[in-house]
Structure 1
Amino acid sequence: MSNIELLAPSGNTDSFLAAVSAGADAVYVGLKDFSARAKAKNFSYKQLNEICSYAHQKNVKIFVALNTLIKNSELKDVMKSLEQISLSQADAIIVQDLGVAYLSKKYFPDIKLHASTQLTIHNSYGAIQAKQMGFERAVLARELSFDEIKNIKNKSNIELEIFCHGALCFCVSGLCLFSSFIGGYSGNRGRCTQPCRRLWTVDGEKGYFLSPKDFQLADYIKQIKETGVTSLKIEGRLKSADYVAKTVKAYRLLIDSNETNYEQNLEQAKDLLSLDYARQKTTFNFNIKSEDIFEPQKSKNIGLYLGIVENKTDTIFSLNTKTDLLTGDTVRIVDNKKDRSVVLKIEISDKKDNGYKIQYKDLYLENGFEVYKIADAEQQRYGGIEERNDRNDKGEYTKITKSFNILSVQPLNKVSLPDLFIRINNVKWIPLLKNAKADTIIKLSKENLDIIKNFLSQKSINDLYFELPPYIEEQDIKVYENFINLAADKKYNKFFINNISQIYMFKDKKSSLYAGQYLYTLNNYSAEFLSEYKINAFVSSWEDDLFNIKDLSKNLKNNLIVYLSGFPEIVISKMKFVPDIRNKNIKSDKDEFKIVSNKDNIIIPKYPVNLLAFKNNLLKAGIKSFAIDLSYIDPNVNYLTQVIKVFNNNVYMSSANKFNFERKLK
């Protein structure tokens, strides 16, 4: 069996040392900014230099997660981070934002690029395209099966990294706007507030309907090694050093196994993993498409259930449990009625036959609160890291070796865009659009392709564009390519694309390409990079704000399209939801959404986003092209007439649903 890298998470120095001590081949870490785990403690520049030096002495690699979307105003700070990463001699950066990849390639060619799972690489075309864009490794989407991973490996020559253990996002990574929609805290920018772990209500029943089990592939390491995958990745930069040590030891055992000791080591590894104090486990789609991913009526909380708080006083409570506990163990204490919890490192004041008396202070507890063990007492120290003194007080190299003028963006070719696009996913809208004075975008899906093919063979429509979905499974690539060829035969060759794999799909075609909302363009350099691949115009993300769009418009005003109305797809999930919530409304105390269940599960807001009142602000900023999305709205001539009147400033339509437009994207 082939060699394979074991890649461990680290959110702080303790977990880094635990990973190295337990046998990780590589460790991925985040800096204080631009990390998809902003809530982790993360590393300063000084600490990065120190851990890189320490790791390289131990023959361990360091990958830095610079894997968030970047606004224009943040580019100078990103350049500073890239410089410090380069000078620290980290082994690679993990990137989502194509503008960051572009700047790194241009100014720091010594830094190796890894394509983050946030780039949603999920088929062989995506892997091939990532390689052509300068990435040395692709971190594949967690939705993939073993056969899909093997197929991608056989068809591409890029290094592949897959997750083998840890928490799952219920939305496809890189496509989630859920946290951003609720409060402006974007998962694409490392600030996810985990709405999927909330208590939700459907038809009066409460449950953790969107909270999946954790991922575990311990039973399949032998098969994975035979595929030629480069790296096995453990999720968990927010987890403790104890978690990191146990999971790394377990997968180290499995990777190093041979035919004579594999079964014995598998049993030992699974014993270790049973003590990771995480959620119940699933293999998701890896083996077969699992229908057992969610347990709505079980607590979202991770850890080993110990019991409940009893006999509470102001400073002490009783815990009746058969589990052995030590002072220094960490527990999570949960108030299920109010869906909140606190973490306590316990101090045992007394041990009884039936449990323990535990001290606490400055915490709100009540009898009946549930108690879960989430980490063992730290009984092992992993050593220390020697400080280096060749940095200034901020941990930066005192000698700056480069200077940059990052405002020097290459002007893009001006493209002819209509004043208004109207996007639909139902061809029954088309007869109603005749007098709308707008170009039409039809959103494609596997479910509507045949209907649209039939429509094309019967009708002729001027100014028609098609939009590809952000996730096209390997077995469906040819289906979409056949449609593209058919459309070209009918002289329709304008396409909005939403994934880098689709750049490769059009490599030999004379089509006009436009970047959709999931091929994110939050800064000028993302647009500049994409323009090298013949992408002519860029749709601003639903989650972007007025301030960043105005900033973008200084250079992209002739190439930028802004949606003013519609139902954004804030979640696209490949998980099979429990039947009780499919095609239902799902509510929390403050929010309500619709679940649309077809081949995928899609979540949209209950009410459409309406930014029509901001059209004049955007016109003043130089934006010339706008769009209205009629997807998820039944064809209705009265609604269409009203929204067109509002667009033309003939009628005013107020809206409380503006997404991040005014409050700013965080």
Structure 2
Amino acid sequence: MQKPELLLPVGNPESFYAALRGGADAIFLGLKQFNARGRAKNFTNGQLGTILKEAKKKNILVYITLNTVIKNNEIPELLDYLNFLNQVGVNGVIIQDWGVFYIARTYFPNLVLHASTQMAIHNSTGANYAHKKGIERVVLARELTLHELSKICKKSKVETEVFIHGALCYSFSGMCLYSSYAGGRGANRGLCTQPCRRTYTAQNTHQYLFNLKDNQQIDLVNRFAKMGVNSLKVEGRMKSGEYTYRVAQAYRTALDEPNQIEKAKELLSLDFGREKTAYFMGKDVNKAISEKTVAGVFLGKVEQIKGQNIWLSSQMTIEPGFRLRFHIPGTEKQETVKVREVAEENGLFKIHSGGKQVKPNSEVYLAGISDVKFPSKLEDTTAHFKQLNYGNKQKILSALKGRENGRNEEFYFRVNSMEWLKKMNLNEMEGLFLAFSKITWSRFDPEVPFIQKFREKIYIELPKFIQQDALQFYRELIAKMVKCGLRNFVVSHISQLDLIPPKCRIIANENVYVFNDAAACFIKNEGVSLFSYPQEIDFETLFSLSHKDGIVPVYFHPELFHSRMPIAMKDGNDELLDDMNIKLQRFRRNGITSIVPQVPVSISQSKNKLKNNGFHRFLIDLSYEPVSKHRAKTVKSRILRSEQIQPSNTFNFNKGLK
């Protein structure tokens, strides 16, 4: 049995040295651009040279995160970045965007590529597709069960990596649109504002509905090793060196001394994170949501304040050097105070507030103890590498360009209920996407005369998440449809191409992200007939694309959260309100929870602008609309006249995606 690699997060110089000292086999880090932890300190190109030099001395591998989607106008900068990474000797590049993959594989073939968890690979079909494309390793979705992970390891040829510790996102990674919707700061751009950590109003009660505890898989380390998992990954590039060191020591102990698990757990008790869950791996999802957003070890509360002095109760002796985090009662505000001096008075600990605005009855958490220190600076050396020739860069950019295409307007519709079929006039559309649940597909008869009459216009849409044991269901569904003459399909993940037989017409939907010309090139080269642009795209990025033959989503309710995790709401009470007064609706289908805004996104008033910029294919998504005889016709007529639909909003189209 080969021991898995222990992969540690590095977001600042302290955590780099902590990972080295703590026992990392490999580290992952981001530079100043194109990484999913845009709020971390990250590193300069010159500092990377120092990191590579120091890591090599200890035989530690270095992986670079390039795990965001790339806007089209960023492609020239991306080329310079890949050219730099290609020369400095990194051991792997972790990517999300298939456009990045296409450029790297075509023009920088020596780069070793890893598929980020942002690529949402969650079954053996996805893993094997990545392997077929030349990706060396896949970082699997955090939502897998132990049974599913075991099957994926057995059925796939690619290296596998799993998260074993750290923060969890409520939504599937790569599928969360909430932060983007609420303020244009996209999770897929590394700028998530963590809406899952906020309170929501449901059934007249303020609740933490999506606030997940931290992931901890210390009990399963040996099981992962026996399954053949290649790398065990710790989340936390926003965390301190102290966190990195303690977590590294704990999992190093678990890997090297399997009989010392209790010792490892004791080390983790002071990781200063949130409450812990083993999540789907440990079958404890019912207890995975926390009522607390504060990270740290709970100590006690503030009993008294006089001037700048604070008296607090604590279940642990307070010592100089402790970092204490105060959770202000009745709010989500927190204040952090470093203890300089401490005195015991009448069973309480007296400290100075350091000028921080702490309130009586604030809960007190231990956020750090500073018992181990690491260097806080890294030498920023001059990075010597050969610049990409201007002519070569222009040649690459030219090769990514799309061609002019037809201008006749085409309309596509999406529905998620068979009830809609009775209301739709298929003579007035180019295609109808059927996004049905497994139960609905089980009742669907492809041989009824209506379906057969319009079989050239009907598309079978596959879901975003297909669990490992459901792959056979969808293989059989596809085979049945093809046998009955329905050969049009819509894929929600590019790997789903491997489920579909030859000589079928395939459209890639909005979840197969196309933010740049390179992604469009890749998808077309895979044999996809058409692609859809992402729901969170903005006009600036859309209009910068030379591939204008895709389908623009012009009317839809975006799935802000798309999660395997259920939430504690009574059936029949599905309405929510967030802290920005956005009205939301919960839907639960196929074991997936979707949170969507009640008000649709519509850019119907911009149809003429879209057409003037070369776009002529439009998607109207009625999945979250009440079934209505006239709705499809009304929405289409408004779009044809380039008229606004109210109530609605324009998502990022006008305000921009940061």
Normalising by the smaller structure, the TM-score range is over 0.9
- Whether 2:576 is the aligned partner of 1:560: answer no
For residues 24 and 285 of structure 1, the distance between their equivalents in structure 2, rounded to whole angstroms, comes to 26
In the alignment, structure 1 residue 340 sits paired with structure 2 residue 333:
yes
Partner of 1:164: 164
1:577 to 2:574 alignment: no
Matched residue, 1:278 = 273
Q: How far, CA to CA, are the matches of 2:217 and 2:316 in structure 1?
A: 27
Matches within 5 A, 1:206-605: 206-257=206-257, 262-263=258-259, 265-288=260-283, 290-295=285-290, 298-352=291-345, 354-377=347-370, 379-382=371-374, 387=379, 389=381, 391=382, 396-397=383-384, 399-400=386-387, 402-403=389-390, 404-405=393-394, 406-410=396-400, 419-434=410-425, 437-438=428-429, 439-453=431-445, 459-462=451-454, 463-506=457-500, 508-552=501-545, 555-557=546-548, 559-580=549-570, 584-590=574-580, 591-598=582-589, 599-605=591-597
* 8 Å contact kept, 2:400–2:517: no
SS in 1 for 2:610: helix
RMSD: 2.1
Q: For each residue in 1:223-262, what CA deviation from the matched residue of structure 2 results, as whole angstroms up to 9, or x when unmatched?
A: 11111110000111111111111111011011112xxxx3
Aligned residue type for 2:487: N
Q: CA offset at residue 307 of structure 1?
A: 2.2
How far residue 14 of structure 1 moved from its aligned partner, in angstroms, is: 0.3
Work out the CA distance in 2 between the residues paired with 1:589 and 1:664. Answer: 22
User: 1:454/1:534 Cα in 2 relative to 1: closer, same or farther (>3 Å)?
Assistant: closer
CA displacement 1:81-114 (0-9 Å, x = unmatched): 2222223211101000011111122222222100
User: 1:575, 1:470 → 2: CA distance?
Assistant: 15
**Alignment-derived partner of residue 129 in structure 1:** 129
Equivalent residue of 1:628, what SS? strand
Contact 1:32 1:42 (8 Å CA) reproduced:
yes
Cα distance, 1:44 vs structure 2: 1.0
In 1: Cα distance, 2:13 partner to 2:115 partner: 25
> Structure 2: where are the runs of 5+ without partners?
none
Task: Name the SS of the counterpart of 2:289 in structure 1.
Answer: coil
What letter matches 2:472 in structure 1?
K
Identity level (%):
32
Distance 2:286 2:639 in 1: 44
The 3 A distance-change label for structure 1 pair 33 and 313 is farther
Unaligned runs of 5+ in 1: none
Q: Deviations over 1:420-463 (max 9, x none)?
A: 01110112112221266112111133232113236757732421
How has the CA–CA distance of structure 1 residues 89 and 402 changed in structure 2, closer, same or farther, with 3 Å as cutoff?
farther
1:9 to partner: Cα distance:
0.6
Hey, what's the Cα distance between the residues in 1 that align with 2:329 and 2:210? Answer: 16
Q: Tell me if the contact between 1:436 and 1:644 (Cα under 8 Å) persists in the aligned partners.
A: no
> Residue 123 of structure 1 contacts residue 501 of structure 1 at CA under 8 Å; is this kept in 2?
no
> Contact 1:409–1:528 (CA<8 Å) still a contact in 2?
no
Q: Which whole-Å deviations, capped at 9, do the CAs of 1:246-290 have from their partners, x for residues lacking one?
A: 111011011112xxxx33x10100111111121221111114363
Match of 2:104?
Answer: 104
Residue aligned with 2:399, SS = coil
Q: How far apart, in 2, do the equivalents of 1:456 and 1:213 lie?
A: 49
Of 573-582 and 591-600, more deviation after overlay is shown by: 573-582
Residue identity matched to 2:473 = V
> What CA distance in whole angstroms lies between the structure 2 residues aligned with 1:342 and 1:636?
52
Matched residue count = 649
CA deviation after TM superposition for structure 1 residue 384, in Å: 7.8
User: Residue 547 of structure 1 aligns to a residue in which SS?
Assistant: helix
State the 1:412 CA deviation: 5.3
Q: How far, CA to CA, are the matches of 2:379 and 2:272 in structure 1? A: 33
1:493, CA displacement in angstroms?
Answer: 1.3
Amino acid at match of 1:503: L
Q: Distance in 1 between matches of 2:537 and 2:572?
A: 29
Contact map agreement 1:587 1:593 (CA 8 A) in 2: yes
Judged with a 3 Å threshold, the aligned counterparts in structure 2 of structure 1 residues 46 and 388 are, in CA distance, closer, same or farther, namely closer
* Residue 119 of structure 1, CA deviation: 0.4
Cα drift, residue 402 of structure 1:
4.7
